[in-house]
Amino acid sequence: MAQAYVTETDSGGTSTGREGSRVRRLLSLLDGWRRDPRTWRRGILVAVCAVILALVMLLHARIPNRYGNLGSLTETFLPWLGVFVPPLLLLALLRRSATALIAVVLPAAVWLNLFGGLLTGKAGTGGDLTVATHNVNADNADPSGTARAVAASGADVLALEELTEAAVPVYEKALASTYQHHEVVGTVGLWSKYPLSGTEAVDIELGWKRAMRSTVTTPEGQVAVYVAHLPSVRVKLEAGFTARQRDKSADALGEAIADEPIERVVLLGDLNGTMNDRALNAVTAQMRSTQGAAGDGMGFSWPASFPMARIDQIMVRGVEPVASWTLPETGSDHLPVAARVQLDGS
């Protein structure tokens, strides 16, 4: 027993000695950097890159859309600019550059200011209405399975986008046992456990129907629910981020929601844009994102195989978000998204 005690003491002393040796070597290294005048001159290029990265994130709203909608393109993938911070930090360490190390702090701080709040879970408990939305993909090979998957989420109100004429009866049959009420307008549809009324198409200046609104009568009162599938955007080498039609449709959708007489409003759909994209200001300026208010993480929804952007949105007005999350992958190239909101007392 005594021998074991001595062994542990010796081992601990040796371990403590090794730790002390590492600390002394680190301090010696830092002192060497401090004394070396080249420490401040090295890594200037890394420092410049870090400052540029910080400015792009900080001033993204000032990047013009005049050429290829560069501003909107940057804002669509804005959170991903943070992936450049670790490589810059590594380069600064390899270059033993104090200037670069200090500069790398700038983009790190800006990114945390913009997106740090999304790293912590904000989902709460309670809520009296669960809603979900899913772009089911016109080429979905298993619409019935997709319908069952989203119905299993427990959503009281479910919006589907990119419905084809041939697939609508499949979704209607698969969802009939869960939802007593449903309406389909063009390529979008709404399924509900509560009665629907006042259903109509919303003109988003496309020439065909890709948006609708309906009044859902819940036990807590009426809620105006909008379903929208804004036009797709493309990134082309010769034209940049082509989104003119999407932008026009967003403006039209924003006008329709602004004119909505019912106080409680929920927007469900594929907006083909993120909350950072200024082109959606007509909508985002008057509504709250459930993901931003009550989500866990970034909540990226597209593409389903490797989500890089949150373009499927649940937004509310006059309603309190409680929780927001993405659902498992289905046969679509988008992930379904869901949210729980509080109507009573909101």
Residue 311 within a domain: yes
* Segment 116-171, tens digit of pLDDT: 988 888 888 899 999 999 999 999 999 999 999 999 999 999 999 999 999 999 99
Residues 183 and 254 in one domain: yes
User: What are the pLDDT digits (tens) for 228-239?
Assistant: 999 988 665 444
The pLDDT score that the predictor gives to residue 5 is: 43
Looking at the structure, tell me whether residues 185 and 328 fall in a common domain.
yes
Higher-pLDDT residue of 241, 192: 192
The pLDDT, as a whole number, for residue 122 is: 87
Same-domain pairing of 169 and 267? yes
Peptide bond into 303 cis (omega under 30): yes
Residue 139 maps to a domain: yes
In a domain, 337, yes or no: yes
Residue 6 has pLDDT above 60, yes or no: no
Asked if residue 142 and residue 106 are part of one domain, the reply reads: no
Domain ranges, residue 323: 129-342
**7 belongs to a structural domain:** no
Q: Is the pLDDT of residue 47 over 50?
A: yes
pLDDT at 303 over 50: yes
Residue 120 confidence (pLDDT): 81
Q: How far is CA 80 from CA 57, 85, 95, 247, 272, in A?
A: 10, 10, 25, 23, 17
Has residue 251 got a pLDDT over 90?
Answer: yes
Whether residues 180 and 231 fall in one domain: yes
CA distance 232 to 245: 8
What number is the average pLDDT over the span 83-96? 94
Q: If you count them, how many residues does the chain have?
A: 346
Asked whether residue 235 falls in the same domain as residue 333, the answer is yes
Query: 223 and 105 in one domain?
Result: no
171 and 242, same domain (yes or no) = yes
**Residue at which a domain ends, from 85, 119, 153:** 119
Sheet containing 211-218, strands listed edge to edge, beginning at the edge strand earlier in sequence: 196-201, 211-218, 221-229, 265-270, 312-317, 288-289
Q: Is residue 136 part of a domain?
A: yes
Residues 87 and 148 occupy one common structural domain: no
- pLDDT value of residue 118: 84
What integer pLDDT is reported at residue 262 of this predicted model?
98
**pLDDT (0 to 100) of residue 30:** 57
Which pLDDT value is given to residue 141? 95
pLDDT tens for 269-286 read 999 999 999 999 999 999
For position 177, which CATH number holds? 3.60.10.10
Do 87 and 223 belong together in one domain? no
- On whether both 155 and 256 belong to a single domain, the answer is yes
Give 164-220 pLDDT, tens digit per residue.
999 999 999 999 999 999 999 999 999 999 999 999 999 999 989 999 999 999 999
Q: Tokens standing for 96?
A: 């033993």
- Count of the separate structural domains present in the chain: 2
Final residue before a domain boundary, out of 119, 144, 178: 119
pLDDT of the residue at 240:
46
User: Considering the chain, what is the average pLDDT of its residues?
Assistant: 89
Whether pLDDT at 7 is above 90:
no
**pLDDT for residue 233:** 81
- Domain assignment present for residue 13? The answer is no
- Tell me, what's the pLDDT at 295? 94
Final residue before a domain boundary, out of 119, 151, 174: 119
The answer to whether the CB of 175 falls within 8 A of the CB of 160 is: no
Query: What's the pTM?
Result: 0.84
Torsion of CA 230, 234, 238, 241, to 10 degrees: 60
Q: Which two tokens stand for residue 97?
A: 């550059």
109 and 140 belong to one structural domain: no
